[in-house]
Amino acid sequence: MKDPKAPDTSTDVDQFADEDTKAITKRDLAESVARTVGISNKAAYQTVSATFALLQQKLADGFDVAIVGFGTFYTSHCASRVGRNIRTGAQI
């Protein structure tokens, strides 16, 4: 039996996704977190932003980031290449 005081943890991400791209924005994610956890949209947005900033900083510092059940993030280095201006064909 479900505890009536427990926050609703069921989320339907499709209701937030942009119909054209099927993309979810950071704001959509924060609103879903706010509803699921029972906090304000502002607090949820700050939490989501802080989480992404931490992930970005750890990746920049050379760490791999593994989130069990979601994925692993890491940086890789590619060889440099010559870019071209599309209009003129000149090298950049």
Report the alpha-carbon distance of residue 50 to residue 37 in Å, rounded. Answer: 17
The answer to whether residue 5 scores a pLDDT higher than 60 is no
- pTM (2 decimals)? 0.65
Give the domain CATH number at 60. Answer: 4.10.520.10
The pLDDT score that the predictor gives to residue 50 is 98
Condensed to tens digits (0 to 9), the pLDDT of residues 6-26 reads 555 555 555 555 567 788 999
Give the count of alpha carbons within 13 A of 1, CB side only.
3
Range of the domain at 59: 1-92
Condensed to tens digits (0 to 9), the pLDDT of residues 63-87 reads 999 999 999 999 998 999 999 999 9
